[in-house]
């Protein structure tokens, strides 16, 4: 097991920063850190993503794990790793990205939905997978596919909230990816970083208690 997978299984929550403006990004990261969320994913379709990843590795590298999300292909993977990403997360499975991560020593957690995709990702060398979109599929779907595929670490992204996070962990996930429920851009843009910290604390405490 890689060090990053160990951290994922210990921390249990990945904060997803998508389309955040650069001017607010550092304050938002610091607000989440204050609430106990230490795994941060900046999606590659966010303007200036590579620059943010690089800056956060310098600023928060001793207290947070910084990775890239929405890594759709090999070119994006190369850009993210060059910026200092410690992990790569995708909505899709691209074996070239998994292979590149293996060669570079960077954890890759590809997006999958069906049992066939999950096993294919595992056989291609992915140490864990992201089951997506959970907002539509729901934790019961996850519980069903975990039964025969219980050896493959899975994180759930989409649809997770405080009222159902326990269901996802009972269904067998090792972690959850949290986007707008955690990184609320309305709060960010109105300077309510205290609300981000409160929400981060609630999710961190809920996940750690499970």
| Catalytic positions | 41, 130
Read off the tokens for 184.
Answer: 């609320």
Contacts of 43 (CB under 8 A, 6+ apart): 16, 17, 18, 19, 49, 68, 69, 70
Give burial (CB, 10 Å; 0-12/13-18/19+) of 44: buried
User: Percent helix, strand and coil across the chain, each rounded to 5?
Assistant: 50, 15, 35
């Amino acid at each position: 097991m890689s060090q990053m997978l160990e951290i994922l299984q210990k921390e249990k929550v990945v904060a997803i920063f998508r389309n955040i403006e650069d001017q607010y990004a550092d304050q938002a990261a610091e607000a989440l850190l204050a609430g106990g969320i230490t795994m941060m994913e900046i999606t590659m379709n966010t303007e200036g993503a590579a620059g943010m990843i690089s800056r956060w590795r310098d600023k928060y590298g001793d207290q947070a794990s910084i990775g890239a999300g929405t890594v759709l292909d090999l070119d994006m993977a190369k850009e993210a790793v060059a910026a200092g990403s410690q992990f790569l997360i995708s909505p899709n499975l691209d074996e070239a990205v998994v292979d590149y991560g293996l060669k570079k020593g960077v954890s890759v957690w590809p997006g999958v939905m069906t049992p066939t995709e999950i096993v294919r990702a595992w056989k291609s060398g992915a140490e864990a997978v992201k089951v997506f979109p959970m907002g539509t599929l729901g934790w019961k779907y996850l519980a069903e596919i975990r039964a025969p595929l219980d050896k493959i670490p899975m994180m759930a992204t989409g649809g997770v909230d405080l009222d159902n996070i326990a269901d996802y962990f009972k269904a067998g996930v090792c972690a959850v990816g949290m986007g707008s429920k955690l990184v609320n851009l309305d709060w960010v843009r109105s300077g309510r970083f205290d609300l981000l910290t409160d929400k981060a604390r609630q999710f961190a405490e809920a996940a750690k208690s499970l």
